Amino acid sequence: MQRLLISLINFYQTFLSFDKGVLAVFAPGGACKQEISCSEYAKRVIGEFGVFRGSRLGLKRIWSCR
């Protein structure tokens, strides 16, 4: 399950992200206000704390973002 979530985040970062993905053309300065993007943070905490706690922490950060 952990690998699946991280794979989905990698897909998002590669194709859909306004910071790193194909859609970065629409946000030249980047869309993320944090030093580490929310998706990168989510990958790290899922790897460190596991699926349930990591997902909760990642979603909490995404919801607190603009």
pLDDT at 66: 61
Six-digit token string for 17: 């992200």
Whether this prediction's pTM lies above 0.85 is answered by no
What sign results for the dihedral spanned by CA atoms 44, 14, 8, 3? Answer: negative
Within the chain, residue ranges assigned H as helices are: 2-11, 38-49, 51-64
Q: What is the pLDDT along the chain (66 residues), one digit of tens a residue?
A: 999 999 999 999 888 888 777 777 777 776 677 788 888 999 999 999 999 999 999 999 989 876
